[in-house]
Amino acid sequence: MRHEGISRARFLAGAGAVGVAAAVGGPTTAGSAAAGTGVRRGLTYRGVCYEVGDGESAATAWNAERMRHDMRALRHRLHANSVSVFGDGVERLSATASEAAERGLHVWLQPRLGDVPKRDILDHLAETGRHAERLRRQGAKVHLGVGCEFVLYVPGIVPGDNAVERVENMLKGNYDPQKMALRLRDFIGRAARTGRSVFHGPLTYGAAHEDEVDWSLFDIVGVNYYAYHKDKAAYVKELAPYQCWGKPVAITECGSCTYEGAPQDGGMGWHEAVDYTKEPPEIAPGLKRSERAQAAYLLEVFDVFESMNLHGALVYDFCSPEMPHLPDDPVHDLDIASYSLTKTIRQRPGDPESPWHWEPKQSFEALARHFERAARR
């Protein structure tokens, strides 16, 4: 998706702040095997989201060599034991998931094809699910996510020809909540049935926080969680209802942008931080870059997730190459508005076709230490 310089990745993060509700049945049981029975302490899976896609330029498009390098880094530098492989393009999804599995990583495979007819989205899901099933039969640890925040990606649930228009309409209230709820529930059900038809392992869906989903359709409750609270007890209070379904709960996304106050802006940090009406886009006046703020927030919420013995937690995201770090040009340092654990350094700073590499942020190093310690428990 290309529109006014806003990438699909940025809109994914933003959608977490849009509260939508579907009319569904309630939980069936209280408690959860992951809620602290004494069998296990802490998270089972700790990791990061990794996007595959055609990029916003040839330089930022997925390529196999870079992907293999990144999977090694995820396993051995970040000390993650899990990765969410998401995006579109069955070949890219399959190749990345296979490489991750060969590296010993647990894989959440989640197709995110959008802005095309619903039938095409379901066909793309089915083909991705078939690859997930092949990996599962070969002995890989793999979960299939049938999608993410369908209100954003799937045409016809809310008005808008693309994700940009849908987000704008939701923010302005230009939609019918009842019709949206019915349409969302219907498509989630269709996606769950499609996933079940081709994949026989654990199934989940990446719901926006505050969405109401019929989790009886899935094996794992999945939530994209960008909330901010001043104390840890408030996080626990907000997340505890998800455990009432009696199923494992996974934080399928969490994160923060890279400026002071970004955790408070949550899933809309990208929107608050950048003026996309300017060309090139500019960082909003008064924002101060802070890798420390991002790192501190992630450590805090991971402590909460560990204390609740959730099934898994995945940081959004590993790398955002379309948002380069420009240390000598803070007005255009788009990395301030990125959720990634790494910063993109271009050889030619103003050229989107420039070769680039990533370097770890403080959040990368902080989580690497946390993941390594947690794995030794």
- Is the separation of the CB atoms in 130 and 144 below 8 Å? no
DSSP string, 223-288: EE-----SSHHHHHHHHHHHHTTSS-EEEEEE---SBTTHHHHGGGHHHHHEETTSSS-EEPTT--
Residue 204's closest CA among 152, 242, 249, 138? 249
Determine the pLDDT at residue 204: 98
Other CB atoms within 10 Å distance of the CB of residue 271: 20
Residue 259's closest CA among 286, 288, 283? 288
pLDDT in tens, the chain (377 residues): 333 333 334 343 333 333 333 333 344 333 344 344 445 689 999 999 999 988 888 999 999 999 999 999 999 999 999 999 999 999 999 999 999 999 999 999 999 999 999 999 999 999 999 999 999 999 999 999 999 999 989 999 999 998 879 988 988 999 999 999 999 999 999 999 999 999 999 999 999 988 889 999 999 999 999 999 999 999 999 999 999 999 999 999 999 999 999 999 988 787 789 998 899 999 999 999 999 999 999 999 999 999 999 999 999 999 999 999 999 999 999 999 999 999 999 999 989 999 999 999 999 999 999 999 999 88
User: Pairing between strand 274-275 and 282-283?
Assistant: antiparallel
Whole-angstrom CA distances from 73 to 3, 83, 252, 369, 377 are: 31, 12, 20, 14, 22
- Is the separation of the CB atoms in 162 and 4 below 8 Å? no
Category of 110 on φ-ψ map: left (φ > 0), alpha (ψ -120 to 50) or beta:
beta
- The enclosing H or E element of 194 equals helix 177-198
- Is the separation of the CB atoms in 258 and 361 below 8 Å? yes
- Is the separation of the CB atoms in 45 and 250 below 8 Å? yes
Other CB atoms within 10 Å distance of the CB of residue 230: 8
Both tokens assigned to 141 = 């640890």
CA dihedral angle for residue 151, residue 49, residue 360, residue 270, rounded to 10 degrees: 0
DSSP string, 74-101: HHHTS--SEEEEEES-HHHHHHHHHHHH
The angle formed by the CA atoms of residues 98, 100 and 106, to the nearest 5 degrees, is 110
Determine phi and psi for 311, rounding to 5 degrees. -70, -40
Both tokens assigned to 49 = 């989201």
- The enclosing H or E element of 218 equals none
Determine the pLDDT at residue 23: 30
The angle formed by the CA atoms of residues 119, 124 and 129, to the nearest 5 degrees, is 125
- Is the separation of the CB atoms in 317 and 361 below 8 Å? no
